[in-house]
Structure 1
Amino acid sequence: MRRLPSFFALRAFEAAARLGGFTQAGEELHLTPSAISHQVRALETWFGRALFTRGVRKVTLTVDGQRLLDQLSPAFDQIEDACAELRPLQSRSELAVHCSPSFAAKWLGPRLPQFMAAHPSIVIRMSSSAEPADLAKSTDIDVDIAYGLPPPHANVMVEPLGLESTVPMCSPRLLEGRDSMTPADVLRFTLIDSKVNPVQWTDWCKLNGLKLPAGARPSFDRGSMVIAAAVDGMGIALETTRFAQRDLERGDLVILDGPSFHRIERVTHFICYRKSAIDNERLIAFRDWMKAQLLPAT
């Protein structure tokens, strides 16, 4: 017979310790903070020692609590993976893909018809949000295309999706009457901020030996909105050529470039999926198709 405390108490403790509070744990487990506190108290009674140090508005793990969390979280991960493997899929043909709204609108969405034509038996179920999906919890999502490197997880594969060039770009109407541009000339225009982009104007100015002028700038919290503002002639955007590829090809935007310009190149997107699904044929087909589509940015 196993000598174990209540599973519900262990689950409440693990959630509170991982998320940093009883309120957050209650939101995840759909319980009140007092119910989480009661479960944790029962667990502390079972062990005969404190697992949290309780403050006025927050709790912190004791040494014993941290030791328990270090052992308990991997065990819950294994339980979750074992259950996910046996859980029936909603549809054998579906592949649930999650990504940021801008990636969906500017890159993935316009190309999905090509994937569907090449793989007619696979039905893509798309969702998007500003926050990356947590594949350790979101069992209804098969693939997450993360914007920025996600936190490491023992049971999640994370693969980079190649370097992206982030460059200043604007409507060609903004440059009428100018034969050439230097990096210093860029700063004479209205600069558009992209709040969620890991590359900012300060980074570009530093790389190009310039000082960013002080003052407020128009800003947007979506890369797609930044690009749309640049197309409309609001000013100069600093965005990835991956997001702007179609606008550049149509001539709605031009890149401000030349011998004196230095580009910023970074890996900013990653494809994430569970290690337990590494042999999933639908997932492999989608991953390989994406990598084939992602040619080096120009």
Structure 2
Amino acid sequence: MRRLPSFFSLRAFEAAARLGSFRRAGEELHQTPSAISHQVRSLESWFDRPLFVRQTRRVTLTAEGQRLLDRLTPAFDCIEEACAELRAPEQKLELAVHCAPSFAAKWLSPRLAHFMQAHPGITIRMSSSAEPADLQRVEDIDLDIAYGLPPAQPGVVVEALGREITMPMCSPRLIDGRGPIAPADLAQFTWIESPLNPVQWADWCALNGLKLTDRARPSFDRGSLAIAAAADGLGIALETTRFAQGELARGELVVLDGPGFRRIEREMHFLCYRKAERDSREIAAFREWLGAEMAADARGD
């Protein structure tokens, strides 16, 4: 019969010793710090000697504790290797995401690292084009994030990704030294067009009681390009603030807003996937993550 202390106490000790913290050991083992501390004290009682020197914010090993860790580490390594040899290999999952180019560049790509950290077993394959994907015909795309409401397709679920605010925005240099600006004052400036945008200058003018001027307007076929042109001082872009979060935060752009301005709020982006694949692990994970990111955006986190 083997004379051994509790395996759970040994595991708690090894984690706390390796990480130098009862709190971090609890996080790794999904237990509370007090539970880890209780198991370590139980082990110390079994040995009838202290294994840790407890300090306010950290713990350090005694000489006996270090000697025990030196022997336990290779033993736990052997146990882990033996279990890994018998365990079925983890299934590698891939998720093919098709996305509108500006949404991919300005919103999705900067956040994808969060998804990859949360779901290391899922590999993302990204593709991009202005046209929405035909999920009935293109089998190697799992999810599509479309700009503008896509055509209805049997068996395809379409979910709006929240209402977006579209506002005039420009470089602060363009209006430097001017006093308060009213909607009518925008006619003095160059207006930048983005022809693929579901919201056009004609919509904004109609909402704000203005007549659309016939002045020439430089045109960019991507919202991201229109935003870059505005940040460079070329003129005023009419774009969703979702695309311009970085430029607005860095002060490269300012929104033209005030008591006389009326904003346009619309659902602009839509998540599409096949209804039959709704509950697949990778699609469910991406939908949950995307919803959480959108909610954080809405809160301003």
TM-score over 0.5 for the pair: yes
Paired residues, number? 208
TM-superposed CA distance for 1:264, in Å, is 0.3
Distance in 2 (CA, whole Å) between partners of 1:187 and 1:236 is 10
Distance 2:249 2:116 in 1: 23
1:109 counterpart = 2:113? no
Tell me what 2:290 maps to: 290
The 5 A counterparts of 1:74-223 are 92-223=92-223
CA distance in 2, matches of 1:217, 1:120: 46
Stretches of structure 2 that go unaligned for 5 or more consecutive residues are 1-90
- Unaligned ranges ≥5, structure 1: 1-90
1:224 alignment partner, SS class: helix
- What's the CA shift for 1:158? 0.5
Asked if the contact 1:165–1:297 (Cα under 8 Å) also holds between the matched residues in 2, the reply is no
1:197 is aligned with what amino acid? N
SS of residue paired to 1:157 = strand
Query: Cα deviations across residues 117-173 of structure 1 (Å, max 9, x unaligned)?
Result: 121111110000111100001100000001111111121010000000000000111
Q: How much has 1:297 moved relative to structure 2?
A: 8.5
Shift of 1:213: 1.1
The 1:133/1:116 distance shift into structure 2, 3 A limit, reads same
Larger Cα-atom Rg: 2
Give the equivalent residue in structure 2 for 1:237. 237
Cα distance in structure 1, aligned partners of 2:261 and 2:215: 23
Q: CA deviation at 1:234?
A: 0.1
Shift of 1:280: 0.7
The amino acid of 2:115's aligned partner reads F
Q: Which residue of 2 aligns with 1:84?
A: none
The equivalent residue for 2:21 is none
Q: Kindly, what percent of the aligned residue pairs are identical?
A: 65
SS in 2 for 1:261: coil
In the alignment, the residues of structure 2 paired with residue 296 and residue 204 of structure 1 have an alpha-carbon distance, to the nearest angstrom, of 23
Counterpart AA for 2:137? K
Q: Distance in 2 between matches of 1:217 and 1:154?
A: 39
Are the equivalent residues in 2 in contact too, given 1:163–1:296 (CA < 8 A)? no
TM-score (norm 2): 0.67
Query: Residue in 1 aligned with 2:227?
Result: 227
CA contact (8 A) 2:190 2:217 kept: yes
Find the residue that maps to 1:270 and give its secondary structure: strand
Contact preservation (8 Å) 1:93, 1:122: yes
Q: TM-score, normalised by structure 1?
A: 0.68
| Pair 297,267 (structure 1): closer, same or farther in 2 beyond 3 Å | farther
CA distance in 1, matches of 2:137, 2:188: 47
Cα displacement string for residues 75-95 of structure 1 (whole angstroms, at most 9, x for unaligned residues): xxxxxxxxxxxxxxxx84110
Give yes or no for contact 2:142–2:274 (8 Å, CA) kept in 1.
Answer: yes
- Structure 1 runs (4+) greater than 4 angstroms displaced: none
How far residue 179 of structure 1 moved from its aligned partner, in angstroms, is: 2.6
Q: Are 1:208 and 1:262, in contact at CA under 8 Å, matched by a contact in 2?
A: yes
SS in 2 for 1:212: coil
8 Å CA contact 2:92, 2:121 repeated in 1 = no
Paired position in structure 2 for 1:264: 264
Q: Deviations over 1:163-201 (max 9, x none)?
A: 000000001111110131110111211000011001000
